[in-house]
Amino acid sequence: MYNYILEKLPYKSSFRFIDNVSELNENGVTGDYTLEKDAFFYEDHFPGQPITPGVILIEIMAQIGLVILGIFIINLSDNSSEGQEGILFPLLTSTDVSFYKMVLPGQKVTVVSKKEYFRFNKLKCNVQMFDESGELVARGIFAGTIGKVKIKS
């Protein structure tokens, strides 16, 4: 329903960890991602018993819970940027994440993010990740800045 926003992401193919955005408004976002069984990071983490690295789970949470929401909010509030060259570029400035379950290859995860505040292009969110059975996988506080970056040719 809100997948038009995926075209605005600065990530491409192997490093975009979002399949679907099911809810999106100025106060939060919900989206999901199914981890590919043959993703590059499973080869060595861990051979014969692959599990999703925590850093990949953090990246999924950040892309859905912070970047998607930030781009949406910036686009809502910044009509002056129309026609200007550049892309919206996210910078993650801090995270505080706790993990509760492992995520295996092929599993689908859902991320739910609620905005705590957005001011001066800084966004802070409470982000949770759930597995397909609705059990909490991870939760944390994510903060970052999102702004336009001009592309030099």
Catalytic residues: 45
**Residue 63, class by beta-carbon neighbours within 10 Å (0-12 exposed, 13-18 middle, 19+ buried)?**
buried
Query: ω into residue 46 within 30 of 0, thus cis?
Result: yes
Give the three-state DSSP class for 8.
helix
Residue 68's H or E segment, with its range, is none
Task: Count CA within 13 A, CB hemisphere, residue 83.
Answer: 2
